[in-house]
Structure 1
């Protein structure tokens, strides 16, 4: 196409999404609708409301809707000892540990039920606790004394050792090693249902660009979009001026999410640092094109050129290079600022700027490579990673101290009770004995009198 054009930046820097109540259309599309400009050269999402005021050219971008949240943070490393297994696995393991001791005791004592014999072993109560402690040492991979040398007990010990050591223990050790080498992270938010639940329970806030197609989808949507819109109405604010401002909100705060085009959000995450963000799944498909006046005479010329560029893959390459250029400029400014603070030399800034190359998708800088290497570099194990082991150790020491104190207290009470019995005053015993002797004396004196009366009565009767 041959001709001259004049480029200017729209004052409000918004596209507009629908006709307002007063009959106006805001944003740059309103300028096209009022025929103040001929067309808007950019990726404008095609919607029903926009089709009523402007006419769109051939597709320039096929995009999907998505939202971005902050990258999931690391989980609390104090609970790393229980994370090798999911919570559904721990109840069977604990149940097996609790039941293995009583089962061994029943196996040892079962023959005595139908064949009574003299016992030369420990008392039943001591044998019961010995079985429990022996099975606990097996699960903890410790050495212990056999409670019995019978073949049935040895067979049960072999089975428990195989299950505890070679299955549960090895799997636990392997998973724990991998978790300490690469700590786990929180569960990411990837669907709208998860986002809605997070907004209800965790206080997440959803942001959207003003006068954008995403704003129109939330306002006019149904089902989950309607629920999200109701949650957004309770927020202090949810409209932002640009996607860049929303990306900064998400990066600086944890409980923020930004809804927009997935392609735009993807390149913006690379621009601001992909390690700060988590991009959700594709939500819906949307198409973008160039907005023109209704009845534009050169619409067919635009369509012909755009179809040729689309078939050749030039549009995709141009989009990728444009976002890569923006991200490269941002990283260059960051590297320049860091080097200036460290060296205070203008020559160092010029050298870094000279190394910057932004001519395609595969271009990188040496400084950017160093930054990415620092992010992915393995870190040595710190005390925060091992704090779970020390917490368990402290808990074990605390239980031992409580048990030892209880035993000492019980021993002191027993000794005191024995001393009380040995040093009990004899006065009470003597008084009791005196009362008892007096009662016996009285009874012995009364007994002869009653016998004499009886004898006299008997003699009279005989006579």
Structure 2
């Protein structure tokens, strides 16, 4: 009233025709009363704009509400429009501490304190700690605080904001600022000793709405203070969701029209969403997102593109598809329980067939010849040891060097599968060893090579496939291969943030003209049309696309890394646990895997009859998490063999011609050497020795010894005894 007493009323003049006239005293009295009324009203408005006192039993009500919430901590936040006595705040703090509830008292009168409060909320958001805030301020400041909290995205299921609304109805501006994910409680005091709790997450089908869920009149009407989310969102009561959709077989098959409408014709995730809608009683409408991409991460300018960016901005509720969980995406959205356990891989064109002419020669790589030489070096001395061993203790004089030479040539003849009668020894032991060597050369080495050669001719060899990242790096650096990825995908984020071979691949990609494609399907078509292109993506998606476009045209690499796909939702989504319970049940029961497998049955008949896609064997083949698509790969024995033709034997004729050529060269060399030796004898005749007669007798004796030896051998063979030389 001091404001009224200090205010003086000046005389009011009315100007008419340039002269000033005093008004009627009655009019002056009425005007004075009107001004006094306005001043009193202004006084009360000024008093309302500052919250100075709290209702009676407010501290007891807050204590019961906090206990009913199960809160461990509570932050008392006083705004600029608050001038509450310290005794009231201390009373609230004491009664909460008596119930083992930690209390933090913050005053937002300065910007520094407000920043401190926001840092406190950010810390709780990063660590997923409980944050319960009791905000005491006037309605206008409540609206501003709610707006700032929403803009800063301090929203999570562990964060609860209790706004005390001192008078009047909750404003429409405040209701419009309430997002579904933020937990907001409005506490009102309609009459003395009574407090009402209004909650925004009490109904599953109403947005920007506060519902009366509890009240306090000496004690809480029911406990807990707020209804749990699993009971609220077990039935959406026919709510309609607008769901963005992308064409990504086999997850969604989408047809786009010119009027920005879409028609989803099927897909694994379309069936999953229909199952969720039936179970939770909600409806959904698909729409075409602006950029038709998923989105990978928050960029440097603070924006998030793609469909996940819509969820981050809270313009979309959730998104189903081949959405891989990554750390960058977790900063913007939340993920449900996994809907697909997959792995990363890259796809290249199927290796070309090698020349059939060289098929007979190609098996003889350099690795073969050391073993062949070692075999020849071992078998010859082994036969010589068997023959020469008895002469060591019988003290017989024999030319062991010549015998070793004969044994080596004899075993070489056996390995070449040529007939020979020049046996180095006639003993049974030597013959037994010779028979074993002959059997090994004929049936083990010869027949095995013939069988392998036949299989190589029936199934022509192919180029070495690119199955590892290291091989892909070499191909990109030396052979001109290009690697493409889907834009705004998790594969792109792995290349951009990766180190080692991923970082080197990203640097090699910068030399390309085309680095990113609109979808995985477009990348697979590029691989099909251009031979030196590879695409990096999810193994299951790549496998399905190869089955669509003819699996015999592609080669799938080994498993590179584990990736998990799930449903993307807003941070703080209240029905996340409801979705998790259903998805977890479907995953554990194998229904999701069955739904994925059924998509392969919907492929065209000619696609299902094509040869399985070739795959590189992964080092982690014993991984318990196997892709459903790769499990359908048939073994190589089921692939039809090609009949032999004369074209496949061109290499054999070439090899035979080379053998004839080498034989002709060797014969020519022998003839030339023999002629040179004969010419040398003619030019340099041998001088007659003075002991010519002795030499003739020596030659005659050798001739007779040779004759007797032949006779002895013939008799020995006839009688079956060992020949003793």
TM-score normalised by length of structure 2: 0.45
The aligned counterpart of 1:306 is 583
Query: Pairwise mapping of residues 397-412 of structure 1 onto structure 2 (< 5 A)?
Result: 397-407=660-670, 409=672
Aligned ranges 1:160-239 → 2 under 5 Å = 160-239=437-516
Deviates most, 70-79 or 46-55: 70-79
Query: In the alignment, is the contact (CA less than 8 A) between 2:547 and 2:607 conserved in 1?
Result: no
Can you list the C-alpha shifts for 1:172-191, whole angstroms capped at 9, x where unaligned? 23333333333444444433
SS at match of 2:503: helix
CA distance in 2, matches of 1:114, 1:32: 95
The reply on whether 1:65 has 2:341 as its aligned counterpart is no
Q: Structure 1 residues 112, 313: closer, same or farther in 2, change over 3 A? A: closer
Match of 2:644 in 1: 381
1: distance between equivalents of 2:591 and 2:438? 65
Larger fraction in helix: 1
Q: Which residue of 328, 333, 351 maps to 1:49?
A: 328
- Are the structure 2 counterparts of residues 114 and 88 from structure 1 closer, same or farther at C-alpha, using a change threshold of 3 Å? same
* Residues 63 and 101 of structure 1, relative CA distance in 2, 3 Å threshold: closer
1:14 to 266, 287, 293: 293
Alpha-carbon separation, structure 2, partners of 1:61 and 1:233:
31
Report the 3-state secondary structure (helix = DSSP H, G, I; strand = E; otherwise coil) of the residue aligned with 1:64.
strand
Q: Deviations over 1:17-56 (max 9, x none)?
A: 0122222211122223233333323232122222222233
Shift of 1:396: 0.9
Instruction: Give the gaps of 5 or more residues in structure 1.
Output: 326-362, 423-463
Distance 1:114 1:20, change over 3 A: same
SS at match of 2:491: helix
**Aligned to 1:42, what secondary structure does the other structure show?**
coil
Structure 2, unaligned runs of 5 or more: 1-279, 613-637, 686-725
Q: Give the Cα separation in 2 of the matches to 1:183 and 1:20.
A: 50
CA distance in 1, matches of 2:454, 2:655: 17
1:102–1:10 Cα change, 3 Å: same
Q: Work out which structure has the larger RCO, using CA pairs closer than 8 Å and 6 or more positions apart in sequence.
A: 1
- Once the two structures are TM-superposed, the CA of residue 243 in structure 1 deviates from its matched residue by 0.6
Secondary structure (helix, strand or coil) at the match of 1:392 reads helix
* Deviations 1:105-139 (CA, angstroms, capped at 9, x unpaired): 999999999999999xxx99999987665444311
User: Do structure 1's residue 142 and structure 2's residue 405 form an aligned pair?
Assistant: no
What does 1:19-418 align with in structure 2 at a 5 Å threshold? 19-81=298-360, 87-97=366-376, 134-146=410-422, 148=424, 150-151=426-427, 154=431, 157-322=434-599, 324-325=601-602, 365=605, 369=609, 376-407=639-670, 409=672
Count the aligned residue pairs: 380
Distance in 2 between the 1:105 and 1:27 partners? 80
Deviation at 1:264, TM superposition (A): 1.1
Query: Is the contact made by 2:406 and 2:424 (CA closer than 8 Å) also made in structure 1?
Result: no
Q: In structure 2, do the counterparts of structure 1 residues 236 and 128 end up closer, same or farther at CA, with 3 Å as the change threshold? A: farther
CA distance in 2, matches of 1:217, 1:367: 32
Q: Quick check: 2:551–2:610 contact (8 Å CA) kept in 1?
A: no
- Residue-by-residue CA offset, 1:143-167 (whole Å, 9 max, x unaligned): 1231555437646634532442343
Could you tell me whether the CA contact under 8 Å between 1:101 and 1:131 is conserved in 2? yes
| Larger Rg belongs to | 2
Instruction: Find the aligned partners of 1:236 and 1:181 in 2 and give their Cα distance.
Output: 41
- Give the structure with the larger strand fraction: 2
Q: 1:67 to 1:382 in 2, by over 3 A?
A: same
Q: Within 1, Cα distance between the matches of 2:281 and 2:328?
A: 32
Per-residue CA deviations over 1:57-80 (Å, capped at 9, x if unaligned) read 343222222222333444444443
Query: How far, CA to CA, are the matches of 2:369 and 2:308 in structure 1?
Result: 60
| CA positional deviation for 1:403 | 3.0
Pair 413,310 (structure 1): closer, same or farther in 2 beyond 3 Å:
closer
Secondary structure of 1:14's partner?
A: coil
